[in-house]
């Protein structure tokens, strides 16, 4: 059975119901190639008519898919749910949100075409980005992220690995972390990345970015860092991917893959979002140091901003240079 690229809408089926069971759809698409034939038949029923999961007991759904109740249970576990009740709960949660999202539902899950109006492209991009961010936020394991933030705050060094747009997301996190005193390097070239990975130690953190979780270079760099005692973290759309399997902590994003589909283009935003969340939590873990560094960097770049904006900097604990006459509070900062 061929993997479903898009949700095909039939007149006899509730369009919003099919589109908005999106976390389940996302998991199915991520694992489709690994599902046995029987599980794929169950998956297709769930994709076509997700409301059936709410309406039918497991035996009846299995009959609808031409398989057994045991196969339905295995399918649920293969896509990351504890069982049929957990699958039903996920679908019920998403369908419950549909009531407030009818206006944007039509824009979600469809690929762009050459004749699409600019207005349609605009709304589709926005809808895809919003959905990906919402689902990513819902899937984040906050206790795990808080633990990671504490480790980052006390780390000696952080290595970030990524290729293509994943490297851009890693660069965004590195720029933020550096401003609060967390020293990071981003590696998108495997030879340089492996050279850095072998220098990591138990007081370091390595984070690998890959939407699919199957980028060979990123996997190699993260594995090498892990072999030297470094805490390894994967940021990926697929929690069962090879990258996730070689990491101690997995941060899951939520965006689908499809050429010129809104969710594919939104993958970068999901990666940046989890990086921003991790940045704020890390700043909170050592707030006095973060505030001190942010104030120092603001003072450094202030004179290079045009407009003569008056800025008052708070008094913060910790050592700081003695202010000169030009640094008096409320003095205008001009270019």
Q: Please give the structure tokens belonging to residue 161.
A: 């690995």
Residues 6+ apart with CB under 8 A from 272: 169, 172, 173
| Predicted TM-score (pTM) of this structure | 0.66
Question: What pLDDT score was predicted for residue 95?
Answer: 73
* Longest CA pairwise span in the chain (Å): 81
pLDDT of 275 over the 70 cut: yes
Q: Which of 226, 237, 311, 232 is nearest to 274 (CA)?
A: 237
Give me the sign of the Cα torsion angle 64, 68, 71, 72.
Answer: positive
Bridge partners of residue 231, in order along the sequence: 205
Q: Which of 188, 273, 271 is nearest to 237 (CA)?
A: 271
Q: Which residue has the tokens 């973060």?
A: 290
State the average pLDDT over residues 28-53.
91
| C-beta atoms surrounding 144 within 10 Å | 14
Question: What pLDDT score was predicted for residue 54?
Answer: 87
For residues 41, 45, 47, 53, the Cα torsion angle rounded to the nearest 10 degrees is: -130
Residues 6+ apart with CB under 8 A from 220: 190, 193, 194
- Residues 201-254 pLDDT 10s: 999 999 999 998 999 999 999 999 999 999 999 999 888 899 999 999 999 988
Give me the sign of the Cα torsion angle 115, 118, 120, 123.
Answer: positive
Q: Which of 94, 139, 149 is nearest to 237 (CA)?
A: 139
Task: Supply angle C-alpha 207, 210, 212, rounded to 5.
Answer: 145
CATH topology of domain 1-105: Arc Repressor Mutant, subunit A (1.10.10)
Residue 198 or residue 268, greater confidence: 198
Question: Is residue 286 a contact partner of residue 317, using CB atoms and an 8 Å limit?
Answer: no
Q: Please give the structure tokens belonging to residue 250.
A: 């997995």
* CATH 3.40.50.10490 assigned to 139-285: yes
Question: What pLDDT score was predicted for residue 314?
Answer: 61
- Residues 185-213 pLDDT 10s: 999 999 999 999 999 999 999 999 999 89
Question: What pLDDT score was predicted for residue 259?
Answer: 46
Question: Is residue 29 a contact partner of residue 67, using CB atoms and an 8 Å limit?
Answer: no
Place 157 in a pLDDT band, splitting at 50, 70 and 90.
very high
Q: Provide the mean pLDDT of the chain.
A: 81
User: In this structure, what are the phi and psi dihedrals at residue 208, rounded to the nearest 5 degrees?
Assistant: -105, 130
Spans of all domains in the chain: 1-105, 139-285
Q: Please give the structure tokens belonging to residue 239.
A: 């929690």
3-state secondary structure 293-334: HHHHHHHHHHHHCCCCEECCCCCCCCCCCCCCHHHCCCCEEC
Question: Is residue 107 a contact partner of residue 127, using CB atoms and an 8 Å limit?
Answer: yes
Q: Please give the structure tokens belonging to residue 315.
A: 């008094």
Question: What pLDDT score was predicted for residue 176?
Answer: 96
State the average pLDDT over residues 59-79.
93
Q: Which of 112-116, 209-213, 321-325 has the lowest mean pLDDT?
A: 321-325
User: In this structure, what are the phi and psi dihedrals at residue 209, rounded to the nearest 5 degrees?
Assistant: -105, 125
Task: Supply angle C-alpha 172, 165, 268, rounded to 5.
Answer: 70
State the average pLDDT over residues 42-48.
93
Question: Is residue 195 a contact partner of residue 228, using CB atoms and an 8 Å limit?
Answer: no
């Amino acid at each position: 059975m061929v993997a479903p690229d898009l949700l095909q809408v039939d007149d006899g089926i509730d369009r919003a119901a099919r589109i908005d069971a999106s976390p389940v759809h996302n998991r199915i698409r991520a694992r489709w190639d690994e599902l046995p034939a029987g599980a794929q038949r169950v998956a297709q029923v769930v994709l076509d008519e997700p409301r059936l999961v709410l309406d039918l007991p497991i035996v009846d759904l299995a009959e609808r898919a031409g398989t057994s109740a045991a196969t339905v249970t295995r399918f649920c576990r293969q896509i990351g749910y504890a069982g049929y009740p957990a699958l039903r709960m996920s679908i019920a949660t998403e369908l419950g949100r549909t009531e407030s999202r009818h206006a944007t539902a039509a824009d979600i899950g469809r690929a762009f075409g050459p004749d699409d109006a600019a207005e349609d492209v605009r709304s589709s991009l926005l809808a895809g980005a919003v959905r990906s961010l919402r689902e990513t936020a819902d899937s984040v394991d906050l206790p795990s992220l808080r633990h990671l933030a504490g480790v980052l705050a006390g780390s000696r060094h952080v290595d970030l690995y990524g290729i293509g747009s994943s490297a851009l997301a890693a660069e965004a996190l590195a720029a933020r972390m550096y401003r609060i005193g967390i020293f990071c390097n981003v590696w998108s070239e495997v030879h340089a990345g492996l050279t850095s990975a072998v220098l990591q130690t138990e007081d370091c953190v390595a984070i690998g970015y890959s939407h699919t979780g199957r980028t060979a270079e990123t996997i190699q760099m993260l594995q090498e860092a892990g072999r030297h005692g470094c805490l390894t973290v994967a940021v990926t759309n697929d929690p069962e991917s090879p990258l996730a399997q070689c990491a101690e902590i997995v941060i899951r994003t939520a965006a689908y893959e499809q050429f010129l589909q809104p969710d594919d283009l939104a993958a970068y935003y999901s990666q940046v979002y989890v990086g921003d969340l991790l940045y704020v939590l890390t700043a909170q873990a050592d707030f006095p140091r973060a505030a001190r560094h942010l104030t120092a960097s603001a003072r450094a770049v202030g004179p290079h901003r045009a407009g003569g904006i008056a800025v008052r900097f708070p008094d913060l604990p910790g050592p700081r240079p003695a202010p000169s006459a030009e640094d008096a509070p409320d003095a205008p900062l001009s270019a």
